[in-house]
């Protein structure tokens, strides 16, 4: 009997990873295809949505080839995606009318600020979010307002839009299915977390026709089957959809209220499970839908850092001072401290808990004695400081003591970063056996969606600990580093006057 596999598709900002898990939930095969990012103007970040779709097929083919299996060996598909990035396309031609605008993009920051002055209370009350360029609605509105003929096409009923999960499912089903899940919808500024539906008042506010939006469904259900013409000749159930950070929560088995995970990727995102309650925040954190199952929503408290892994990538591609991101660990360990250098990587402004769209990246403390290793170490340290800032606010908002954090993502292989992170937090970090917990969470939700499991809590039997980092730094040293970090953050902030 041929082996069968659960497919987890992890579509992230930098690329798509496809992982095949066997029935014992061990990784059996893997593929990866990088997705180009385009920067047409300062602060603008785009994908070509067609390249995103091509990356899904390429990564899946690689994963199958690595096992020697064919597409008929896939039991089901679970998909996670990068969240707030959007694409708008012509349903007749099947082609995007503009590039996909990525979550990092800040072109709508000024308009979002103007709208926030008038409508933030309304939007926050319905969505739990604040009006910000980060979220999907401002990006959809920009495309409709600035692409010639877009609103005419919308009136003619020819446009469809969605986040990248919606685009991928539409492509993988030969244009037959236009869906998303509640966790994704909760990141758009258009979803009412109290009703669980698109909100007409919010749609009117952003000038978006409900007809172009996807149907909102549970996070684990049989959405449709892949079309053999479009998906490698196979007809496979698509049965799980989540935003990437929520998928990581599932993969980290953060199912009980109070459990918390941090994902280290392009950015860094910390989510705490808050159960059936959407916790209101007064300090810049965001209540969000973790998942929806059997029409019941579970919520999380979300704190996001825009730039972490992307800053290390910048050292390689922008400055050319490392040849691979993996080298950053070796250089950071060459020096005993940061040499007084602090780096605030506010390439796209600052997210939680600062929410300053106009902050810019800054490096401070450079002297004649500053070496390459100090700059590299300061870049890694910046990730740990930003995570600490989010955790402090999260602990205060939830009023729950946090004794351990489960961490995932590529950067967890960096021993320097993980030890420094534990030192700055003052609590242990748990690293799982399956580091790619985002793909694991997506694959598990796919299995749950076709009835392979009875409950989401069954993922707790799959998660296994690989390594724990314990804090070693003294409190005085920690406090000193944080003091200088916060001074650097204040210097990175600025406001542009009207």
Cα(247)–Cα(233) distance, integer angstroms: 27
Quick check: 496 pLDDT over 60?
no
The whole-number pLDDT of residue 498 equals 39
pLDDT, the chain, mean = 93
Quick check: 279 pLDDT over 90?
no
Quick check: 7 pLDDT over 60?
yes
Token pair listed for 1: 């009997």
Q: What is the pTM of this model?
A: 0.84
CATH of 5-245, one of 3.30.420.40, 3.40.50.300, 1.20.58.760, 3.40.50.720: 3.30.420.40
Burial of 346 per CB tally in 10 Å (0-12, 13-18, 19+): buried
Quick one: which H or E segment has residue 112?
helix 109-127
Q: pLDDT tens for residues 129-140?
A: 989 998 999 999
Q: pLDDT tens for residues 420-455?
A: 999 999 999 999 998 889 999 999 999 999 999 999
Q: What Cα–Cα distance (Å) separates residue 24 from each residue in 21, 88, 202, 392, 406?
A: 8, 39, 45, 37, 22
Cα(157)–Cα(91) distance, integer angstroms: 9
Alpha helices in 412-498 (DSSP H): 415-425, 437-449, 475-492
């Amino acid at each position: 009997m041929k082996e069968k596999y659960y497919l987890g598709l992890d579509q992230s900002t930098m690329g798509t990873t496809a992982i095949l898990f066997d029935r014992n939930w061990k990784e059996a095969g893997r593929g990866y295809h990088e997705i180009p990012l385009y920067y047409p103007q300062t602060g603008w970040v785009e994908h070509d949505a067609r390249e995103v779709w091509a990356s899904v097929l390429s990564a899946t083919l690689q994963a199958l080839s690595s096992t020697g299996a064919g597409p008929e060996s896939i039991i089901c598909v679970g998909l996670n995606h990068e969240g707030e990035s959007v694409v708008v396309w012509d349903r007749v031609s099947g082609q995007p009318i503009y590039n996909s605008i990525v979550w990092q993009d800040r072109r709508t920051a000024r308009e979002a600020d103007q709208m926030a002055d008038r409508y933030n209370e309304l939007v926050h009350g319905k969505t739990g979010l604040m009006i910000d360029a980060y979220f999907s609605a401002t990006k959809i509105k920009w495309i409709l307002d600035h692409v010639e003929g877009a609103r005419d096409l919308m009136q003619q009923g020819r446009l469809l839009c969605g986040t990248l999960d919606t685009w991928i499912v539409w492509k993988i089903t030969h244009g037959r299915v236009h869906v998303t899940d509640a966790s994704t919808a909760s990141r758009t500024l258009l979803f009412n977390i109290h009703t669980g539906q698109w909100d007409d008042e919010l749609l009117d506010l952003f000038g978006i026709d409900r007809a172009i939006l996807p149907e909102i469904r549970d996070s684990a259900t049989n959405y449709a089957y892949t079309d053999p013409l479009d998906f490698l000749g196979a007809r496979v159930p698509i049965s799980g959809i989540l935003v990437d950070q929520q998928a990581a929560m599932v993969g980290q088995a953060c199912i009980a209220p109070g459990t918390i995970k941090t994902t280290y990727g392009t950015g860094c995102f910390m989510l705490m499970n808050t159960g059936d309650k959407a916790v209101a925040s007064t300090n810049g954190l965001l209540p969000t839908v973790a998942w929806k199952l059997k029409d019941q929503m579970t919520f999380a408290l979300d704190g996001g850092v825009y730039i972490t892994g992307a800053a290390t990538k910048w050292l390689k591609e922008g400055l050319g001072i490392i040849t691979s991101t993996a080298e950053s660990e070796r250089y950071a360990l060459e020096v005993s401290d940061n040499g007084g250098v602090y780096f605030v990587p506010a390439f796209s402004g600052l997210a939680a808990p600062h929410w300053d769209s106009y902050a810019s990246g800054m490096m401070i403390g450079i002297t004649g004695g500053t070496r390459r290793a100090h700059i590299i170490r300061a870049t890694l340290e910046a990730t740990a400081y930003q995570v600490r800032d989010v955790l402090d606010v999260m602990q205060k908002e939830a009023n729950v003591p946090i004794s351990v954090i489960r961490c995932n993502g590529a950067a967890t292989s960096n021993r320097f970063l993980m030890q420094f992170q534990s030192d700055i937090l003052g609590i242990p970090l748990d690293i799982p056996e399956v580091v790619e917990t985002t793909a694991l969470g997506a694959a598990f939700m796919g299995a749950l969606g076709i009835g392979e499991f009875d409950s989401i809590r069954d993922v707790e039997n799959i998660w296994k600990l690989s390594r724990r980092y314990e804090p070693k730094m003294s409190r005085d040293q920690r406090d000193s580093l944080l003091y200088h970090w916060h001074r650097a953050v204040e210097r990175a902030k600025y406001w542009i006057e009207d």
